[in-house]
Amino acid sequence: MQQSQSFDPNFYFGLVAENLLKNLGPKALDYADEALSKMKALGDEEGFDLWLSIHEHLTTIAADSFKPRRTVVH
């Protein structure tokens, strides 16, 4: 009997988010917002959940870009 391997979709959502940012820049978050709205309007719960995870990765990456690289104490 074959054992099931653990699968972490968050890794792939992160890749998708990084590629969207690389290809679309700041507009990637706008497109993710549109996709969330569309999935919700269509009643597509699975699609909504997928885009919500991608959106979370996009916002995390965006928030990290605003953090200072190092702290300076005066």
**Could you tell me the pLDDT band of residue 19, with boundaries at 50, 70 and 90?**
very high
Q: Locate the domains of the chain by residue range.
A: 11-63
The predicted pLDDT at position 62 comes to 85
Of residues 16 and 73, the one with the higher pLDDT is 16
The contacts of residue 10 (CB under 8 Å, 6+ apart) are: 53, 57
The contacts of residue 49 (CB under 8 Å, 6+ apart) are: none
For residue 57, pLDDT beyond 70: yes
For residue 71, pLDDT beyond 60: yes
The contacts of residue 32 (CB under 8 Å, 6+ apart) are: 20, 51, 54, 55, 58
Q: In this structure, what DSSP letter does residue 66 have? A: T
**pLDDT digit string, tens, across residues 33-46:** 999 999 999 999 99
- Whole-model pTM: value is 0.78
The predicted pLDDT at position 72 comes to 63
